[in-house]
Chain A
Amino acid sequence: MRLLPKRKREAADTSSVAATQKVGKAFGFRQRWAAAFLESPQAILAAILLLLIVGFSLSAPFWGIEPDALNLDNMSQAPSTEHWFGTDGLGRDYFIRVLYGGRVSLAVGLLATLTGTGIGVVVGLAAGFSVPWVDSLLMRIVDFFNSLPWLLMVMVVSLLLQPGIVSIVICVGGFSWMGVARLVRAETLSIRERSYVRYAVYIGQTKIRSAAWHVLPDALPTILVAASAAVSGAMMSEATLSFLGRGIQPPQASWGQLLQIAQGSLQQLPHLALIPGALIMLTIYCLNVLTNVTRKATEAGQ
């Protein structure tokens, strides 16, 4: 075991290995997940909070407040009944900016995870299921990406792309697929020896078809745990990049980008920094709790 760097933390916790009887008895993955979910009050609370955060973020256009409307008579207000989170240095309503920022942060988290997991699954399946030289070539590429100092690299690559949601999704997703690829490769190597996969290959199904129809479904729970952990990682990466000024650019907002702006007026307006940061932390915490439920359900099935 290695002392894991931050981005690989999902593998470290073994405390959930001891899944309880009830979870172990349930048959399908979904039933096991539901059992693991329902027996943890923490998970239920996390799900409710997460639904609230997502719901509020999605509701942003329905509040009838313009996120970019300047109001120079009303700059730098503390929270009040009229402006729940106060106003920022340009007199914009901060509550609505936080809601719109949440949309961007959550969207980037999801899309970057889809990108990263997608690349990882394809690379992992290809490496595990095809001829040895492809396998070792792909694994060398994984090694190459792993030996890049990712934050430095992402900062350089972000210069190359037009700033915005798409480029940040590419940056974060494109540098976070290696873990999933390794995981899927390992799973594939074991699954492909099972009799039904060997039979499928024997009766002449193409490799791609066997991989997609027979190997992938069995590897799905493992992929799900990795993807679930990746969402919080991606959200943290987006926030970091935007905070460093290399992510979402104004007037568009994300939680990390709001923090970057808030840094400049920290002394006068600390609540501008407090609110988006607290929301990032809460969201990531809830996501991690739910990831643990998924992991428990997966491990109970093995």
Chain B
Amino acid sequence: MLGYLSRRLLLALPLLLLISFVVFAVMQLLPYDVIDSFARPDMDPAALQLLRERYGLDDPFIVQYGRWLWGVLQGDFGYSLVSRHSIADDLLTKIPHSISLVLPAYLIALVLAVVLGLLAGANRGRMFDTVIDSSNALFIAMPPFWFALLVMYFFGYQLRLFPIIGMHSVGRSDVADFLQHLFMPCLVLIVAFYPDMSRYVRSSAIGQLNEDYVMVQRAFGASKREIFVSHVSRHVLLPVITQLGLALPMLVTGALITETIFAWPGVGKYFADAVNSFDYPVVMAVLLLSAALVIIGNLLADISYRLADPRVRLKGEL
């Protein structure tokens, strides 16, 4: 197991290096740079050139990449070219913001999906199942950002129940204010996460009903309730829980669109703003973080699956 772990981690490093290199190259190929994003026509070209030199934007590609990589290896992600804040500091404040939005939404969606999905699977073909199944199909087809606009219009503009943007009102930092701001983006994310999970739980519950152990239980006279609560639910939940690791990258960048719409000061909005202003050190840092989380998440999922089910043999493990 340990050998497997270290091998996977060793394989992840070149992958991350490759990703960073490709993204860096793409950013370099862009016809504009950060100076263009704040240059005005009346500015002196010589002054702009001086700025470029100061930021090191004049150096050859490999030199810039090497400098950036050297910094990252020492834990220094550099400075935002626009705000001149340290990116590491920015991320440290923004990651908790994103997590405080995504984590509750994800957990609520997961619980709802498990409960409703199992109930639908147990009542297959009945009214309840039909309602759940067809509402899932509708939710899956619904663009989340459109739903966000509808929620914003009804709760924000019409009913005036919740504030439209931001995480806190100016000058307030209490929990009640935070929860008021949290409600709408959180609702949007729940509706975005829920249908896929629910559909998965429902269909794997239905799949389990054909298994031999269900027939044995029936033969011994177990009620449908007993079968579902103590047997089917376990088989359905095991993969759901072991695969939670795959959701790891979502914690940080899963709410990009929602954060942009509701001006939630998280990593997603940070990234979107950085892309629009060609702030490449920020773009690089977030992309690398996100790619690293994808890789770690996959690894976590594989390992927890292995731990939960001893029959599973991982690739490359003896």
Contacts and interface: CB of A to CB of B under 8 A. Distances in A.
Nearest to A6: B196
A266 B240 CA distance: 38
Given A147-B19, A156-B275, A289-B137, 10 more contacts: A1-B239, A2-B301, A3-B239, A15-B133, A147-B298, A148-B19, A149-B287, A159-B275, A240-B145, A245-B276
Interface string A261-300: 0110011001001100110111011001100000000000
Given A152-B253, A243-B257, A244-B257, A4 B200 contact: yes
B153 A281 contact: no
A152 B26 contact: no
B112 to A, nearest CB: 14
Contacts of B153: 266-267, 270, 273
Nearest to B29: A160
B172 to A, nearest CB: 23
Interface string B175-210: 000000000000000000000110110111011000
B275 A240 contact: no
Contacts of B246: 2-3, 5
A240 B199 contact: no
Given A3-B243, A9-B196, A152 B203 contact: no
Interface in B229-251: 239-240, 243-244, 246-247, 249
A285 B143 contact: no
A239 B257 CA distance: 12
22 contacts: A2-B301, A3-B243, A5-B246, A147-B295, A148-B19, A148-B294, A151-B256, A152-B287, A156-B27, A236-B143, A243-B145, A259-B143, A259-B145, A263-B149, A266-B157, A273-B149, A273-B150, A274-B150, A277-B150, A281-B138, A285-B137, A285-B141
Contacts of A9: 140, 196, 199
Interface string B138-182: 101111011001101100010000000000000000000000000
A281 B146 CA distance: 9
Nearest to A270: B153
- For the complex of A and B, the 3 pairs showing the least CB-CB separation, nearest first, are A277-B146, A285-B141, A149-B290
A73 interface: no
Contact of B149 (A15, A232, A266): A266
Given A1-B239, A151-B253, A152-B256, A14 B207 contact: yes
A157 to B, nearest CB: 6
Nearest to A155: B275
A270 B260 CA distance: 19
Contacts of A236: 143
Contacts of B196: 4-6, 9, 12
A277 B261 CA distance: 15
**Size category of the binding interface on chain B:** 35 or more
B101 interface: no
Given A152-B286, A281-B146, A244 B260 contact: yes
Interface string B279-295: 00001001100110011
A5 B250 CA distance: 10
Interface in A239-259: 239-240, 243-246, 256, 259
Contacts of A239: 143, 145
Contacts of B257: 240, 243-244
B314 interface: no
Given A2-B243, A2-B246, A273-B153, A160 B30 contact: yes
A240 B157 contact: no
Interface in B251-286: 253, 256-257, 260-261, 271-272, 275-276, 278, 283, 286
Contact of B272 (A2, A153, A244, A270): A244
B81 interface: no
A202 interface: no
A148 B141 contact: no
A3 B236 CA distance: 11
B249 A157 contact: no
A285 B298 CA distance: 30
Given A9-B196, A147-B19, A259 B239 contact: no
Contacts of A278: 146
Interface in A127-183: 143-144, 147-149, 151-153, 155-157, 159-160
B298 to A, nearest CB: 7
